[in-house]
C-alpha cells in the first residue's frame, strides 16, 4: 500500500498542523474571467495555493516520490473557479480504466463536494459531489460520468452546474473547473451567491496505482454520508473585489504558461534575479538581472515555481508548467 504526499508549494501555502472542522478560507475575486482549458491563466497568479492538509486518519508519513497534490480557488460574479494540480508516478490511464471496467470513483481524480447553501446538516441532502477524473473508462472528459453531480437525496442531481477540462502533464495532470453560481443559488433556493457569501466546499485527491481498484486518497473521505464530518471541510467566504489588495503598482506576469522554450515576463520594477524551482524545492535555474525572458528549454517537463526578486528586495512567485 503506497503512501501519499502533500506538495509543499514554493508559492504561498495554506498549511494546517492540526485537523480542523469547518475551516474558514477566504477566496479572492478575479476581475478577469478564467478560461476553462486545464492551463493556468495569468489570472491565477493572485490566488492562494492550498495543500490538502490531511491525508486520512491513521495513514503513515507520505512518500514524496509517489503522489503530490495542491489546488487554488478564485471566483467572479458568475463562477467559483477551481484548479487542481497532481504529480503522480503511476497514472490510471483511460486504456487501463477501460480494461478494468473501473467506475468513476475507482480512477485517479479530484472529488469536489459543493454546498452552495453552506449546509451544516449531517447528511448529504444539501450538498453535491462531482469527481473530476484524469481518465474515465469510456471518455477523456473529466466530467463524463459525473455530469450533474451526485448526492444523497438528489440535491442538484441532473443539474448542469460545472464545466471542467483536464491537461495531461505526463508525470501528472491539471484539472480546471468552473462552478456556476447562479445555477447553484437557484438549486439552494438562494437569491444569489456573491460578495461575502459563505459556501460549503470540500476537495479530495484520489490515486490508484497498478491494477488495484482500492482507492487511496488525501483529504479525508466523507464516511457514511456524513457531509459535515469531512476532515477537510471548508467554509469559503467570497471576498469582494475591493477587499483584494491592488497589485497593479507592482505588476508581475510570466507567460506563456505552459511554456516550451522562452519564458517571458513583464514587470514595472527592476528585477535582481529570476529563480526556477522544481516540485521538490530545488533550484534548477537562475538568471541575474534578467531582461524580458529566460530560456527554460533544457528543463524536463513538469511543474515549477518561478520566483522573481526585485532590486528593492520584494519577491513574486508564480507556478508554471514546462511542456
pLDDT tens digit sequence for 226-268:
666 665 678 899 999 865 544 444 457 777 878 888 888 877 7
Pick from 41, 28, 257, 222: nearest CA to 128 = 222
pLDDT at 223: 58
Q: What is the CATH number of domain 248-322?
A: 2.60.40.1220
User: Which CATH number is 13-243's, of 3.40.50.300, 2.30.30.90, 2.60.40.1190, 3.40.190.10?
Assistant: 2.60.40.1190
pLDDT at 238: 96
> What is the three-state SS of 83-110?
EEEEEECCCCCHHHHHHHCCCHHHCCEE
Pick from 7, 27, 51: nearest CA to 302 = 7
Backbone angles phi, psi at 219, to 5 degrees: 115, -10
Ramachandran region of residue 77, left (φ > 0), alpha (ψ -120 to 50) or beta? Answer: alpha
pLDDT at 124 exceeding the cut of 80? no
Segment 156-174 mean pLDDT: 85
pLDDT at 316: 79
Query: In degrees, to the nearest 5, what angle opens at C-alpha 274 toward C-alphas 273 and 276?
Result: 145
Query: Side-chain half-sphere of 211: how many Cα atoms within 13 Å?
Result: 2
pLDDT at 27: 95
Cell digits of residue 312: 528593492
Q: Do the Cβ atoms of 233 and 160 come closer than 8 Å?
A: no
Strand 234-238 relative to strand 23-27, pairing: parallel
The pLDDT tens digits of the residues spanning 27-74 come to 999 988 899 988 877 788 788 888 765 555 565 545 656 777 889 999
Segment 190-207 mean pLDDT: 91
pLDDT at 156 exceeding the cut of 50? yes
Considering only the C-alpha atoms of the chain, give the largest distance between any 2 of them, rounded to a whole number of Å. 59
pLDDT at 98: 79
pLDDT at 149: 76
Residue recorded with cell 489546488: 71
pLDDT at 220 exceeding the cut of 70? no
Confidence of residue 16 (pLDDT cuts 50, 70, 90): very low
Q: What is the DSSP string of 52-91?
A: -----TT-----TTTEEEEEEEEE-SSEEEEEEEEEESS-
Distance CA 305, CA 172 (A): 16
pLDDT at 19 exceeding the cut of 60? no
Ramachandran region of residue 44, left (φ > 0), alpha (ψ -120 to 50) or beta? Answer: alpha
Sequence-separated (6 or more) residues with CB below 8 Å from residue 39 = 167, 174, 176, 257, 258, 321
The pLDDT tens digits of the residues spanning 273-314 come to 899 988 777 899 998 888 888 899 899 888 888 888 888 777
pLDDT at 111 exceeding the cut of 60? yes
Residue recorded with cell 471576498: 239
Provide the residue ranges of all domains of the chain, joining segments of one domain with +. 13-243, 248-322
Residue 62: C-alpha distances to residues 56, 87, 156, 164 (Å): 11, 13, 35, 28
Q: Do the Cβ atoms of 44 and 12 come closer than 8 Å?
A: no
Average pLDDT, the chain: 77
Q: Which residue has the higher pLDDT, 293 or 12?
A: 293
Q: Do the Cβ atoms of 70 and 236 come closer than 8 Å?
A: no
Confidence of residue 5 (pLDDT cuts 50, 70, 90): very low
Cell digits of residue 57: 486518519
Amino acid at each position: 500500500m503506497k503512501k501519499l504526499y502533500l506538495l509543499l508549494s514554493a508559492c504561498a501555502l495554506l498549511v494546517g498542523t492540526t485537523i480542523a472542522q469547518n475551516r474558514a478560507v477566504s477566496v479572492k475575486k478575479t476581475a478577469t474571467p478564467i478560461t476553462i482549458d486545464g492551463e493556468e491563466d495569468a489570472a491565477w497568479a493572485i490566488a492562494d495555493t492550498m495543500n490538502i492538509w490531511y491525508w486520512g486518519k491513521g495513514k503513515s508519513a507520505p512518500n514524496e516520490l509517489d503522489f503530490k497534490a495542491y489546488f487554488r480557488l478564485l471566483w467572479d460574479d458568475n463562477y467559483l473557479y477551481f484548479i487542481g494540480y497532481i504529480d503522480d508516478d503511476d497514472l490510471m490511464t483511460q486504456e487501463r480504466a477501460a480494461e478494468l471496467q473501473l467506475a468513476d470513483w475507482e480512477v485517479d481524480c479530484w472529488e469536489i463536494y459543493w454546498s452552495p447553501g453552506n449546509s451544516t446538516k449531517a447528511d448529504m441532502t444539501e450538498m453535491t459531489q462531482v469527481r473530476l477524473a484524469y481518465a474515465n473508462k469510456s471518455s477523456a472528459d473529466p466530467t463524463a460520468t459525473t455530469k450533474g453531480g451526485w448526492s444523497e437525496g438528489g440535491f442538484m442531481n441532473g443539474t448542469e452546474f460545472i464545466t471542467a477540462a483536464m491537461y495531461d502533464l505526463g508525470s501528472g495532470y491539471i484539472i480546471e473547473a468552473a462552478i456556476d453560481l447562479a445555477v447553484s443559488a437557484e438549486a439552494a433556493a438562494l437569491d444569489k451567491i456573491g460578495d461575502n457569501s459563505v459556501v460549503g466546499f470540500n476537495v479530495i485527491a484520489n490515486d490508484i496505482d497498478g491494477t488495484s481498484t482500492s482507492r487511496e486518497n488525501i483529504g479525508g473521505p466523507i464516511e457514511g454520508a456524513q457531509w459535515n464530518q469531512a476532515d477537510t471541510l471548508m467554509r469559503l467566504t467570497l471576498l469582494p473585489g475591493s477587499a483584494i489588495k491592488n497589485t497593479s503598482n507592482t505588476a508581475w506576469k510570466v507567460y506563456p504558461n505552459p511554456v516550451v522554450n522562452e519564458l517571458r515576463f513583464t514587470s514595472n520594477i527592476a528585477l535582481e534575479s529570476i529563480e526556477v524551482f522544481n516540485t521538490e524545492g530545488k533550484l534548477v535555474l537562475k538568471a541575474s538581472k534578467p531582461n524580458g525572458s529566460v530560456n527554460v528549454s533544457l528543463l524536463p517537463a513538469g511543474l515549477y515555481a518561478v520566483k522573481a526578486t526585485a532590486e528593492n528586495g520584494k519577491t513574486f512567485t508564480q507556478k508554471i508548467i514546462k511542456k
